[in-house]
Structure 1
Amino acid sequence: MLRAHYFVFAYEIFVVIYMFAISATGAAGEDIDENYVRQLLGNLNTSFDPCEDFYAFACGNWAQHYDNDAYVDVPGYMDYEVNKQLLSALLVDRAANKSGIAQQAWHYYWSCVNLNAPALNTFLRYVQQALHFEWPILRADWQRPWQNATHFDWLRVVGGLRAYGLNGIFITQDVNVRFANATQYLLEVHAQQPPAVAPPALVLRLKDVESIFINFGLTEPEARNVSAGVIALEKSLNDALSTLTLPPPSTSNVSEANVTRANFTSLEMNVNDLIELVPEIDWRGYLLHTLGREVDLEQQLLQTYSYDLPYFRKLPALLAAHSNETIAYYIMLKFMFQLSGDLPTGMTDVQKSTHCMRLLRGYMPLAANYLYEEHYYKHRRVASDAALHRIFNKLRANFAQLVNANALQLNAAERAYILAELDGMQLRIGNVPHEAANLTSQVEEYYADINMSPSDFYGNHLQLIYGSVRRMQARLLNVPRAANATQQLIYEHNFETSSSSSPVKIFDNVVLVPYGYLQLPLYDHRLDALFQYSLFGFILAHEIMHAYDLFHIVYDQHGNFNELGLDVAQHYWSFINCTRQTELNDVLSENMADVAGLRVAYQTYFGPEEISTAAEQPHNITADVLKTGSRFENETPTQSQQQPVIGLNEIPNSLANSSPRLWLGNFTRPQLFFINSVQFLCANMPRIDALNVQPMHLGHDMHDVRVRRNWFNLEHFAAAFQCARDTPMNPTEKCRWW
């Protein structure tokens, strides 16, 4: 306990220093552009040629200035800073003896940082009590048979554990909107997640499983025997999944025959329909345990796929071939593996603090947003929001010009389809209803059902997961929103999205901007417009473009499935084939958003003349249309393009004695635009490479690959840096989307 008090005392000192630093920064507001450029150019590594490796040039020295074990890249750094800020807010509220939601959040955080000797089996004991069920490994007397050895209701256990986050085991289920009416929700039920899409942390490995059972007290022979049964069950399930005609996870072979037109049928039905189609499973009982309530078998809508049905029919017989104890162990291990990453195991005090604050952000997102709003953003919301909405609206207007320039050769109906969604797209800054008459009361009402204890992390954590799942499932009641309702929505997301500072395009046709990125070194509304549009403007443009990527184009402005989107997607083939990417997946969609988002941001800042030739430009822009000097033949550079922002003869007086390294070269506005556009992707790439993270699990290419693969496709890049033909950043063939 002394250790914990010392830890908090150290952070209280940090709060004072941090708040003083904020005040000092505000006092120096007039130097914000100079300080920003100093930092920006400090990240450059000019030993690299920007035409050879632009990422290394623009970000090569970033790791020297941001060398910390707590993060490996700019997004991680921004999350790290937000975590510190939220801790500061909690400490301030605690010092002021504030009650309510701040106290609840503090109790959760405090129980986490003070957790000694974390043990997953404590979670098992909690849910065992809640579900009135006995895990075979936890039976008090090993001499007696397990009480469920002859009768085990696996549907009841799997369904009950869904409320505590378990999913994708035997049956996968999620809440989603209807294809034809996005204002109504239904329950998706699908087969168990196949190995290709299951989170790596949930994959069972024999040696790991044996070690777990040995730690529970089994002898090595006993552990080997039990583990072999569990692995055999996993293999049986994977074999059953492999025989189904499954569409690959978010991917298809690239051929015009199957683009976005999946070779499977989506089925919408009520519960009675599913009972009739798959009588082998007690669906009524399963839904009772999953949702915690009886469902109307006629009114409750479900969605499944045609390939799920044969799997469901085989599942009971497949499980019957294994002992009840093996099935229970299998469920237990999956549940433990799901929660293992949440425990603060083997961490220093600082690492534990960061980890616990991330859990708070992910599992109490409204509370975290509320604290940030009240302590950091409220005082600058008016000015910051106005600047962001101005950028957002200009980006939308310029993309509309691109659509009407019609490089994709869409017909009138297809263009109208695109523009309708663009017209209705909204920007939301911070996931908190800040316009509420009494925000504090609304947030406390939202969390009225929780009771955080400062000394019970396990109970607290399961409470928060339970509340999050139940709120998501409550959408299935389809309670209509009043037509005259003006209250801002609170968007519910998964843990990864809620705990991230990165902006995201969500299904409600909203670009949601968390608070984390709305601070330096990424954004400040007082910055020169060049720095705002080239970095945060590009991020917003990237998210706007996600409305039209491979997987979202089929949903219209209301969120309804629309076959017109399939027709629009057929126009993407020239770009897709140009990129030579062989799979249609999230990585390709991210690259599409990079390529088009960079173009939209660039033309928005530099002016509409950048799209004057859009209709004539082919999707594949070859060097034949470029002059030797790397400019378009008919291009007339604007005054802003020709004027250097920073040059040897234009050093601000306050920086006249700065190191020449910071001011080398005459960087024009286009050059600074591109340099700045990359900054949110700067990273310590050797450390990331050592982590062996795969793009498939990230959903996008690695940071350096993104820049090397996508930035050269904007022809203005080669013009800005005067890159010779056929250099890596000025290849003969460039790919254009929009």
Structure 2
Amino acid sequence: MNSFYSLILVTAMALGTRSDNERVYGGNTEKEKTCLTPGCVVAAADFIQRMDVKVDPCTDFYEFACGNYVKETAIPDHQTEAGTLNSLDEKLNKNLRKLFESSPGKNDPKIFKSVKNYYKSCMDQDNIEKTSKKAIFKLVDKLGGWPVLGGDTWNQKKLSWDCLDVEVIKLGLTLDAGNIMQFSIHTNQADSTKRIIVVGQPEFGLDREYLIKGMEKKEVQAYFRYMVDLAVYLGAHKETAEKELKESLRFEIKLSEMSLSQEERRNLTALNNEMTVEEANKLFPGLNWKKHINKIFRNLEIQVKATEIINIAELPYIKKLADYMAAVPARVQANYQIWRIIQNLVPFCDKSMQQIKLKFSTVLTGKEVVSPRWETCVLEVAGLVFLGELLFLREGSLTNAVGAMYAKEYFPESAKKVADDMVKKIKKEFKIILDELDWMDDITREKAHDKVDKMQAVIGYAKEILDPELLNQYYEGLELLSPNFITNNLKLKRFIKKYIVKELRKPNDPKSWKIHGGAAIVNAKYDTNTITLPAGILAGRLFQENQPKYMNYGGIGQLVGHELTHGYDDKGSQTDSNGNLIDWWEPETKQKFLEKAKCFIDQYGSMSAEINGSLVKLNGIISQGENIGDNGGIKQSYRAYERLIEEEGEELPLPGLPYTPRQLFWLSGASTWCSVYRDDWMKTVLLTHVHPPGRYRVNGSFRNQKEFSKDWNCPKGSPMNPSKKCQLW
């Protein structure tokens, strides 16, 4: 703790010895109603360090609340951004490191041994340097070879693109089969009690938003150099690599052009196109669908028949692909497919390959240093590394095991009870808001009430993960005891795939602990009418069971409301109280909803940032769900807090700050999003991410709240109190 914090704490302890919270001013004593607990004093010091009080809060509240933080915070060399949530990430990662490096406990579930060995194998850099390159060659050989390496010896008849996908799955190189056409298993949108095979467009090696702009785009050029540099490192001739992989890149660009955009994919109804396997066969006659699906999901207890219903999610993409694929040379297809496999293997490989990847990543993110090895390994074991497949979200992954380790050690039951109570109060407030809406008809309103009544909240963790017997059953058959990092990873993914396939024919319970047991992540989510706030995010300045409630409601409270509102944003509003894709809206009310949602699209879409001399606009369409969530979340939490103090009385403000508890609520809410970004990363976030940068989350949502303007006395027409406000929930 620095000297500033130490001084504040010493002062607090001295003041705490006086009766009635007396404070000393110039030798005089006066009574002042101020919170002087150590927690309040530290919180006050933190606010003071973050704020820029020279800024008018009615002009730019983000700058007022976070200005000094932005000016003084240095982004760690290996990271793309720094912020309040990043600090929680760092704390979580350090705690997980302690757990992964600790000795086995006598009564630990068996899977804990595998978790710790998986981490150990990841940390064994010497072994990785010796074995990873050979492991790649061995895997590629099993896939028929990489044409760019094989030259004239590559046999184009050895494996077709669909057969190659099957081999990739067998080896455990991916979970969702296909870099050309993707096959996966998900909850059935039409009936959440069942699962269904889903077919659609793949993820790409570079964001679609960059690929569709063509070969000359800076980011696409960096991606191309990445492909060539890796191929050359693995033994390809540079000229050959440049020639062949340029064709591979053109193929990927063409696939991206045929694919649906993020904006189009927000329409869930358009992504629900159920048909039989036989009908799909007619849609894409060049593929034997029944045979292919049974090979991909080879552990099915009941084989797929021609009459089985599947969902062709991105139907326009599949139709275009059927017409296009016959014209693509087999060598181009294979070069692309093997490239994507190798791209996903880079994190498991030697330092030279890491540096090649870093050269590419620098263009997109601005960071120029590889992360510390321990941090990389913590994220890998916890399933928090995004490689097209975020393992944390997958049933059968190590999510529940790592969550159990973390929750047991770092999240007390008492904190869970406090958070659970907040959720109940915020849900209750949302129901009151529903009754106040003048644009919603009573039939729709009743269904909206039903949805929030049935909405489950998993706060902290699902209690079942602390049961060793349940964990042993869940992970039966999984042992990650190899000294080789890559071997353990492939074995884990094969286990996950087998687990998911076995679940296809079973009744689906969207509220099962197996889906919501992950405690070790700084994030929150809404899915199938369930909100989840893991223990990892219920920490720091966002939530403490003993800090003032205005800080908890301003911090984690707004996130509770945010996730709740996702059930009623542009995507969530398309599903009913059971998570089924059903239009439960009366037509006139739905039209009013869409008009109000457009206000957010236009408002946020007008926001921009100047980056490297160019103006980059925020994508208001793909971010609309998060923006609706931010606006609804802060409103619900504020109102729930106001109702709480009506019942319990006003809280004490913080020392050294001339702000009321209500103003401190807004400061707490804003400080959640204090953050700084590297320029290249800011550009990527604005263009491709659904979550806007922190500045836009604060100013965008606060300016729409009449309660904010009242608490800060903002004149009408000022930037933070515009005459036109976007309002929905």
**Superposition deviation, residue 454 in structure 1:** 5.5
1:122-153 per-residue CA deviation (whole Å, 9 max, x = no partner) reads 55345447x564444666xx7x723x333432
Q: 1:505 maps to which residue? A: 526
Which of 664, 668, 674 matches 2:660? 668
1:569-718 residue pairs with structure 2 within 5 A? 569-579=590-600, 580-581=602-603, 585-607=621-643, 645-646=653-654, 651=655, 663-664=656-657, 666-685=658-677, 687=678, 692-718=683-709
Give distance in 1, aligned partners of 2:110 and 2:95: 19
Matching residue's letter, 2:440: L
C-alpha contact 1:640 1:669 (8 A) present in aligned 2:
no
Give distance in 2, aligned partners of 1:184 and 1:122: 42
* Aligned partner of residue 662 in structure 2, secondary structure: helix
1:439 aligns with 2:447: no
C-alpha contact 2:143 2:168 (8 A) present in aligned 1:
no
1:490 aligns with 2:482: no
C-alpha contact 1:503 1:513 (8 A) present in aligned 2:
yes
1:245-299 per-residue CA deviation (whole Å, 9 max, x = no partner) reads x6542349xxxxxx9597x584312323322443321112321332124632146
Name whichever of 86-95 and 230-239 sits farther off: 230-239
1:358-405 per-residue CA deviation (whole Å, 9 max, x = no partner) reads 11111421121011022122xx21x22221111111111111011011
1:401 aligns with 2:455: no
What is the TM-score normalised by the length of structure 1? 0.77
After superposition, the Cα gap between the structure-2 partners of 1:700 and 1:236, relative to the gap in structure 1 and judged at 3 Å, is closer
C-alpha contact 2:196 2:310 (8 A) present in aligned 1:
yes
Give distance in 2, aligned partners of 1:220 and 1:349: 25
Q: 1:560 maps to which residue? A: 580
1:250 aligns with 2:263: yes
Give distance in 2, aligned partners of 1:249 and 1:598: 26
C-alpha contact 1:538 1:601 (8 A) present in aligned 2:
yes
Q: 2:110 maps to which residue? A: 100
After superposition, the Cα gap between the structure-2 partners of 1:640 and 1:67, relative to the gap in structure 1 and judged at 3 Å, is farther
**Superposition deviation, residue 97 in structure 1:** 10
Matching residue's letter, 1:326: V
Which of 337, 342, 352 matches 1:331? 337
**Superposition deviation, residue 543 in structure 1:** 0.7
After superposition, the Cα gap between the structure-2 partners of 1:718 and 1:477, relative to the gap in structure 1 and judged at 3 Å, is same
Q: 2:422 maps to which residue? A: 391
After superposition, the Cα gap between the structure-2 partners of 1:514 and 1:669, relative to the gap in structure 1 and judged at 3 Å, is same
**Superposition deviation, residue 54 in structure 1:** 0.8
After superposition, the Cα gap between the structure-2 partners of 1:309 and 1:136, relative to the gap in structure 1 and judged at 3 Å, is closer
Which of 297, 308, 313 matches 2:305? 297
* Aligned partner of residue 684 in structure 2, secondary structure: coil
After superposition, the Cα gap between the structure-2 partners of 1:417 and 1:159, relative to the gap in structure 1 and judged at 3 Å, is farther
After superposition, the Cα gap between the structure-2 partners of 1:217 and 1:132, relative to the gap in structure 1 and judged at 3 Å, is closer
Structure 1 unaligned blocks of 5 or more: 1-24, 253-258, 610-636, 652-662
After superposition, the Cα gap between the structure-2 partners of 1:711 and 1:340, relative to the gap in structure 1 and judged at 3 Å, is farther
Q: 2:26 maps to which residue? A: none
Structure 2 unaligned blocks of 5 or more: 1-12, 17-35, 212-218, 359-368, 384-390, 392-397, 606-618
Give distance in 1, aligned partners of 2:727 and 2:250: 49
1:225-240 residue pairs with structure 2 within 5 A? 225-238=243-256
C-alpha contact 2:109 2:469 (8 A) present in aligned 1:
no
After superposition, the Cα gap between the structure-2 partners of 1:349 and 1:153, relative to the gap in structure 1 and judged at 3 Å, is closer
**Superposition deviation, residue 216 in structure 1:** 2.4
Q: 1:286 maps to which residue? A: 292
**Superposition deviation, residue 697 in structure 1:** 2.8
Q: 1:464 maps to which residue? A: 492
Q: 1:124 maps to which residue? A: 136
**Superposition deviation, residue 525 in structure 1:** 1.4
After superposition, the Cα gap between the structure-2 partners of 1:126 and 1:203, relative to the gap in structure 1 and judged at 3 Å, is farther
1:456-479 per-residue CA deviation (whole Å, 9 max, x = no partner) reads 011112222333333333332234
Which of 425, 429, 440 matches 2:455? 425
C-alpha contact 2:276 2:309 (8 A) present in aligned 1:
yes
1:473 aligns with 2:501: yes
After superposition, the Cα gap between the structure-2 partners of 1:206 and 1:498, relative to the gap in structure 1 and judged at 3 Å, is farther
Q: 1:314 maps to which residue? A: 323
C-alpha contact 2:544 2:552 (8 A) present in aligned 1:
yes
1:450 aligns with 2:478: yes
* Aligned partner of residue 218 in structure 1, secondary structure: coil
**Superposition deviation, residue 669 in structure 1:** 1.5
Q: Percent identity?
A: 18
After superposition, the Cα gap between the structure-2 partners of 1:415 and 1:518, relative to the gap in structure 1 and judged at 3 Å, is same
Give distance in 2, aligned partners of 1:454 and 1:200: 39
1:530-545 residue pairs with structure 2 within 5 A? 530-545=550-565
Matching residue's letter, 2:338: M
C-alpha contact 1:78 1:501 (8 A) present in aligned 2:
yes
1:530-577 per-residue CA deviation (whole Å, 9 max, x = no partner) reads 222121111101110000000111100111111224745422244334
1:181-208 per-residue CA deviation (whole Å, 9 max, x = no partner) reads 1111111112455899649799684433
Q: 1:728 maps to which residue? A: 719
Aligned length: 633
* Aligned partner of residue 333 in structure 1, secondary structure: helix
**Superposition deviation, residue 498 in structure 1:** 8.8
Name whichever of 388-397 and 171-180 sits farther off: 171-180
Give distance in 1, aligned partners of 2:242 and 2:105: 53
Matching residue's letter, 2:136: L
After superposition, the Cα gap between the structure-2 partners of 1:536 and 1:185, relative to the gap in structure 1 and judged at 3 Å, is same
Give distance in 2, aligned partners of 1:572 and 1:520: 36
* Aligned partner of residue 603 in structure 1, secondary structure: helix
What is the TM-score normalised by the length of structure 2? 0.78
C-alpha contact 2:92 2:520 (8 A) present in aligned 1:
no
1:73 aligns with 2:64: no
C-alpha contact 1:115 1:457 (8 A) present in aligned 2:
no
* Aligned partner of residue 734 in structure 1, secondary structure: coil
Give distance in 1, aligned partners of 2:107 and 2:647: 58
Q: 1:613 maps to which residue? A: none
**Superposition deviation, residue 214 in structure 1:** 2.1
Give distance in 2, aligned partners of 1:89 and 1:511: 27
After superposition, the Cα gap between the structure-2 partners of 1:729 and 1:296, relative to the gap in structure 1 and judged at 3 Å, is same
Q: 1:631 maps to which residue? A: none
Name whichever of 566-575 and 46-55 sits farther off: 566-575
Matching residue's letter, 1:720: D
Give distance in 1, aligned partners of 2:580 and 2:590: 16
Name whichever of 193-202 and 173-182 sits farther off: 193-202
**Superposition deviation, residue 66 in structure 1:** 7.7
Matching residue's letter, 2:725: K
C-alpha contact 2:420 2:459 (8 A) present in aligned 1:
no
After superposition, the Cα gap between the structure-2 partners of 1:251 and 1:46, relative to the gap in structure 1 and judged at 3 Å, is farther
Give distance in 2, aligned partners of 1:220 and 1:203: 18
* Aligned partner of residue 536 in structure 1, secondary structure: helix
1:62 aligns with 2:53: no
Q: 1:115 maps to which residue? A: 125
After superposition, the Cα gap between the structure-2 partners of 1:276 and 1:247, relative to the gap in structure 1 and judged at 3 Å, is closer
* Aligned partner of residue 152 in structure 1, secondary structure: coil
1:496-548 per-residue CA deviation (whole Å, 9 max, x = no partner) reads x99741111122x2111111122222211122222221211111011100000
